[in-house]
Structure 1
Amino acid sequence: MPDTAIRLADVTVRFAEKQLAFDCTIPAGAAVAVAGPSGAGKSTLFNVIAGFEKPASGSVTLLGEDVAGRDPAERPVSIVFQDNNLFAHLSIADNVGLGIDPGLKLDSAARQRVFAALARVGLGGYERRLPGSLSGGERQRVALARALVRRRPILLLDEPFAALDPAMRAEMAGLLLELRTETKSTMLFITHQPEDIRRLAERVIFLEAGAIVVDAPARDFLSRRDPPAVAKFLGHSAL
């Protein structure tokens, strides 16, 4: 596997009212927190990597390959959305199985992969249940199991802890740490909580007004007092 998982070079995304600019390099196997005020461009950054947003300029390279023109399904990326993106009428097993085949044409080996993924996230025996019968934390685990069965080396998590209480946040963070150790995947997660950075991140990318203003090791980031947006995020007094 290449040493670099993600490279965004002079990437710009234009909307009617503003332009966003991204330039960064993320090593393979890194755990990176993506933080910043609402509207700073965090979800757009994820959409560019995943292929849901086409840049106006610049290049996106994943695992050493330029992915211009590649659809999301063709990229080495799995994404877990904040709202879980589960289908209410499908069983838990079928929701996970969509990660293998959107048509749910699964052979016995694929079904075993689904059951194994659910067991790995602590939901063994839940296969026939519907999403509506689960708690918010359990639905997040289903979404994570679906990402696991896809077996993609880059995992993007869009505010994975937003709907969870503090105890469940800590439990989910522990699970993510274990899974990353096992899979050696590159993990990026959007967060609004410094505690998530302390638990999970080796590095932090902080966005403000559509641009990356800080890209630093997590330990250094957590001790910063500038720029003011970072100080506010961390609960520090800006100098």
Structure 2
Amino acid sequence: MKTSHPLVLEEIRLALGGRTLVELDAVIGPGEVLTVMGPSGAGKSTLLAMIAGFLDPAFEARGRVWLRGRDITSLPAEARGIGLLFQDPLLFPHLSVAGNLRFGMPRRVKDRAARIEQALAEVGLAGFGPRDPATLSGGQQTRIALLRLLLSEPAAVLLDEPFSRLDRQLRHEVRQLVFDRLRHAGLPSLLVTHDHEDAEDAGGPVITLG
């Protein structure tokens, strides 16, 4: 399901103990990836937490987050419609690959088995549904995490250094796959990273913190 709405970050200011960490004003268009770079402690993960809805109350936050044309700043995390992709794929070890993909799918989706098999085939993992996630390589696990996110039909995506633990030779291939799928789905996405090659492959604007 292709989306056509931006993720709007309106006059965001994050501070801790009176010290400003992040000041940001941005509009991320459908299918666009905004990359936020900066050293450790610059506030990258804090920014993601604020947008996603699980910011530690120790931080002072100002500004508004808009998605689907509505202010989601005060909504609980589960009601915001935001998908997350982390450094670790965080696949459920007690579920098969198909079980992981089925987990986040909206209840209204019919013929889930066919939809899952189609999604696996689209990323070169046809027939992997019954597999145990522990038997997959790092690159394969990242692909499954991406599919699980997409099948949950989010309205925007946050990427927290999702390529940092992949072998260097795999990173470019997996990055291209992830960014191509996000663009194809028309999802506004925000990537935080230390890696300049991540930013280059994302192909969108870059903001440096600190």
* Partner residue in 2 for 1:65: 70
Q: For the structure 1 residues 128 and 67, does the alpha-carbon distance in structure 2 shift closer, same or farther, using more than 3 Å as the test?
A: same
* 1:19-98 mapped onto 2 (5 Å cutoff): 19-29=20-30, 30-53=32-55, 56-98=61-103
Q: Secondary structure at the match of 2:154?
A: coil
Equivalent position of 1:220 in the other structure: none
| Contact 2:34–2:204 under 8 Å retained in 1 | yes
Q: Larger relative CO (CA 8 A, sep 6+): 1 or 2? A: 2
Q: 1:109 to 1:12 in 2, by over 3 A?
A: same
Quick one: distance in 1 between partners of 2:50 and 2:38? 17
In our comparison, the structure showing a higher alpha carbon Rg is 1
User: 1: CA distance between counterparts of 2:103 and 2:153?
Assistant: 13
Bigger mean CA offset, 133-142 vs 178-187: 178-187
Structure-1 residue corresponding to 2:7: 5
Please, which runs of 5 or more residues in structure 1 have no aligned partner? 209-239
TM-score (norm 2): 0.85
Partner secondary structure for residue 89 of structure 1 = coil
Aligned amino acid, residue 52 of structure 2: A
AA matched with 1:70: L
For 1:98 and 1:47, how far apart are their aligned partners in 2?
22
- Once residues 116 and 17 of structure 1 are traced to their aligned partners in structure 2, the CA distance between those partners, rounded to angstroms, is 50
Indicate conservation of the 8 Å contact 2:13/2:20, yes or no. Answer: no
**Residue of structure 2 aligned with 1:187, choices 169, 189, 195:** 189
Conservation of the 8 A alpha-carbon contact between 1:117 and 1:148: no
Change (3 A) 1:79 1:107: closer
Aligned residue in 2 for 1:145: 147
Equivalent residue for 2:156?
A: 154
Q: Secondary structure at the match of 2:49?
A: helix
Output the CA distance in 1 between the equivalents of 2:139 and 2:4.
34
Instruction: Tell me the TM-score normalized by structure 1.
Output: 0.76
> Is 1:115 paired with 2:92?
no
